[in-house]
């Protein structure tokens, strides 16, 4: 009797292991109808759970942020001073830009590609539980006009792109996902490269493959290069979307490894509402 | 564990609520920059209370459900969690759980194992990005959180599944001494 039980147990275990490998083989290269089906059925439930649990999440976030607030305060004060100086300089630049545009009649040119995009707002309803994957599920899907590879932004900057779409929900691959890569450039220096993640570190991205001839400095902004980046593969992202800011840019690292560290503008760990840029022309 | 349709329904409800809570709550909150992962602890509790088969099947089901909801490649989470559930069940069958701290410690250990297992599978499948040293912090803190979450979780699941559990102490108490000549 006991042996029979053990044999049955081993058979079930073997079946489950084989089943896992079969599922992995069938679905590794892309999403399956089954996943979209289950996701579609349960996305309303997830949405309700997400809203119901928001107060509890906010409470935990409050504790977490209180711990961080002290260090953050002094850093923000310094950043505010810097931003004020930049804002003044920016106002001057805007005036100058408007005058120059009038001079060269740039305003008559076709609008920038990314004004063709429509913005679809989505709420994050689920998040991958492990550090090895960096994705979130939002409550906007193909029914809202969202399609695969659409760029996703938050109020602060680029968040990622749509990895798969269901009728009522979509999966967003964040910038910090191991498979993510975004062609980007540093402004104002114009140095181009690819923004890649460092798995396990949500606060730092790496701008890789940069040219070592032009130096990059800390504090410089990194924006998407779009399909206009020369020598790099076509991008899913329109040019000019803010990605982050260069934090560490030691000269020896730029020369030896041709990379610098970038802090993403968007708070990728605490996303709530995001916007999907749908439509628009692609490279 | 005595599996009746009622108990099965309770286990399914536990798994369902556990997955929803993980994706909608635990994954979206952070303490010291790390989100807790309650799913390995949940599977460990089910394995410890229900045995190896219950642990493995619930681990597979939870993994499958999570991958479906996140529209991820199916099978990875199932494989990791079924292994964790099976090992927890085997532990229960070979050793007695005397201390109330032991389930929490096992939740901690198996969560660490699950996270490492998950990483190994991702690396085997080809992770095209450099690894940060902060991964270690993430794994360790997730395990610590599993210790604190596993403790009440084990007691809660034990309470929910109580009608199906064969308590060692009850079995021992039930045995009456044989009175010779009676």
pLDDT in tens, A129-158: 887 888 899 988 888 889 888 999 988 889
What is the ipTM, given to two decimal places?
Answer: 0.79
What does the pLDDT read at residue B180? Answer: 53
Integer Cα distance of B60 and B82 in angstroms: 5
Chain A contact set for B25 (CB, 8 A)? 49, 53, 56-57
Integer Cα distance of B70 and A242 in angstroms: 27
Per-residue pLDDT band for B164 (boundaries 50, 70, 90) equals confident
pLDDT in tens, B24-77: 899 988 888 889 999 999 999 999 999 899 999 999 999 999 988 888 888 899
pLDDT in tens, A1-38: 677 878 888 888 899 999 999 888 887 766 667 777 88
pLDDT in tens, A225-238: 875 445 555 667 88
CA-based radius of gyration for chain A: 23
Determine contact, residues A187/A86, Cβ cutoff 8 Å: no
Give yes or no for A256 touching B (CB within 8 A): no
Whether residue B115 and residue A63 make contact (CB cut-off 8 A), yes or no, is no
What does the pLDDT read at residue A107? Answer: 43
Determine contact, residues B63/B170, Cβ cutoff 8 Å: no
Proportion of chain A above pLDDT 90, given as a percent: 7
Q: Higher model confidence: residue A282 or residue A77?
A: A77
What does the pLDDT read at residue B182? Answer: 44
Helices A2-27 and B76-94 meet at what angle, rounded to 10?
160
Chain B contact set for A22 (CB, 8 A)? 75
pTM of the model as a whole: 0.74
Chain A contact set for B126 (CB, 8 A)? none
Residues listed for chain B: 182
The whole-chain average pLDDT of chain B stands at: 87
């Amino acid at each position: 009797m006991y042996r029979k039980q053990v044999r049955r147990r081993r058979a079930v275990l073997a079946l489950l292991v084989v089943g896992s490998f079969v599922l992995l083989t069938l679905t590794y290269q892309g999403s399956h109808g089954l996943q979209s089906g289950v996701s579609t059925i349960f996305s309303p439930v997830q949405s309700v759970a997400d809203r119901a649990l928001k107060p509890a999440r906010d409470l935990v976030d409050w504790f977490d942020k209180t711990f961080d607030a002290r260090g953050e305060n002094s850093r923000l004060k310094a950043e505010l001073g810097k931003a004020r100086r930049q804002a003044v300089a920016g106002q001057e630049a805007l005036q100058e830009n408007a005058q120059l545009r009038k001079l060269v009649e740039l305003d008559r040119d076709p609008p920038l590609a990314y004004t063709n995009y429509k913005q679809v707002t989505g709420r994050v309803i689920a998040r991958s539980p492990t550090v090895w994957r960096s994705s979130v599920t939002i409550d906007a899907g193909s029914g809202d006009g969202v399609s695969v590879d659409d760029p996703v932004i938050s109020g602060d900057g680029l968040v990622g792109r749509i990895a798969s779409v269901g009728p009522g929900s979509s999966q967003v691959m964040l910038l910090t996902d191991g498979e993510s890569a975004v062609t980007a450039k540093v402004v104002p220096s114009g140095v181009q490269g690819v923004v890649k993640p460092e798995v396990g570190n949500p606060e730092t991205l790496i701008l890789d493959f940069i040219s070592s001839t032009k130096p990059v400095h800390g504090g410089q902004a990194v924006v998407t290069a779009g399909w206009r980046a020369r020598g790099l593969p076509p991008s899913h992202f329109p040019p000019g979307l803010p990605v982050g800011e260069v934090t560490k840019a030691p000269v020896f690292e730029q020369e030896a490894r041709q990379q610098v560290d970038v802090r993403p503008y968007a708070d990728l760990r605490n996303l709530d509402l995001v916007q999907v840029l749908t439509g628009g022309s692609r490279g | 564990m005595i599996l009746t349709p009622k108990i099965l329904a309770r286990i399914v409800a536990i798994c369902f609520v556990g997955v929803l809570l993980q994706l909608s709550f635990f994954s979206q909150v952070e303490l010291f920059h790390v989100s807790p992962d309650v799913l390995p602890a949940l599977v460990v509790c089910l394995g410890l209370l229900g045995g190896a088969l219950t642990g493995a099947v619930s681990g597979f089901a939870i993994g499958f459900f999570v991958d479906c909801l996140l529209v991820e490649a199916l099978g990875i989470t199932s494989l990791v969690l079924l292994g964790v559930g099976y090992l927890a069940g085997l532990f229960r069958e070979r050793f007695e759980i005397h201390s109330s701290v032991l389930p929490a410690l096992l939740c901690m250990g198996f969560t660490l194992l699950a996270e490492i297992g998950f990483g190994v599978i991702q690396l085997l499948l080809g992770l095209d990005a450099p690894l940060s040293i902060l991964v270690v912090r993430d794994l360790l803190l997730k395990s610590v959180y599993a210790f604190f979450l596993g403790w009440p979780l084990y007691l809660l699941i034990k309470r929910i599944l109580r009608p199906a559990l064969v308590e060692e102490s009850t079995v021992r108490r039930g045995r009456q001494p044989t009175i010779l000549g009676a």
